[in-house]
Amino acid sequence: MPTQPDALHGKVALVAGATRGAGRGTAVALGEAGATVYCTGRTTRTRRSEYNARNYRLSAFYDLAKAAGRRLAFSQSRELAPHGCTAVALTPGWMRSEMMLENFGVTEDNWPDAAARSPHFAAISESPRFVGRAVAALAADPQLERHNGGSFSAGGLAREYGFTDVDGSQPDCWRYMVEVQDPGRAADATGYR
């Protein structure tokens, strides 16, 4: 279930990186909620942007970059609050971005087929629209300032606001990874979707 169709009627959103992944999912979800959405991006019909496709990302610097986003939201929350602005950090779970679908040799239409290569991905992954619906839910919250400076996951916000992914589920990827994947248990999303 997306955010109410008119929840953002009359609002304008600018989404950078809206041609792929979380940016695309966010742009679509904001539009679903009634916002007028202006998009920028580097992928075109003839040329795909690189989106780290050739860059090694799993290192100390990757971890630092992830932590920096949370710290930036915290710092911005202090600086922008006097101006009536709210800053939050938001992370998707194991997102079925174009790069991940390509990596597993599947599409958004047949992503469960990735179970042969990655049972956990097939069990708990979420569409880019899921994190987009989290953004739309936050944007429509009249008491958003209560979240100022916080760091949130799409799955956690789904439980708070009641939105779902495109398949009607509410994947809780981070809890799944800690409780199922990391301990080496067999893929089973029961209680996590």
Residue located via tokens 């194991």:
94
CATH superfamily of 12-181: NAD(P)-binding Rossmann-like Domain (3.40.50.720)
Neighbours of 179 (CB within 10 A): 13
Domain definitions of the chain by residue range = 12-181
* CB-count burial class (<10 Å; 0-12, 13-18, 19+) for 169: middle
Query: pLDDT value at position 43?
Result: 78
pLDDT digits (tens, 9 = 90+) for 99-151: 899 999 999 999 999 999 999 999 999 999 999 999 999 999 999 999 999 99
DSSP 176: H
pLDDT digits (tens, 9 = 90+) for 6-46: 899 999 999 988 888 899 999 999 999 999 999 988 877 77
DSSP 145: G
* pTM for the model: 0.86
- 48 or 126: whose pLDDT is higher? 126
The rounded distance, in Å, linking the Cα atoms of 84 and 121 is 39
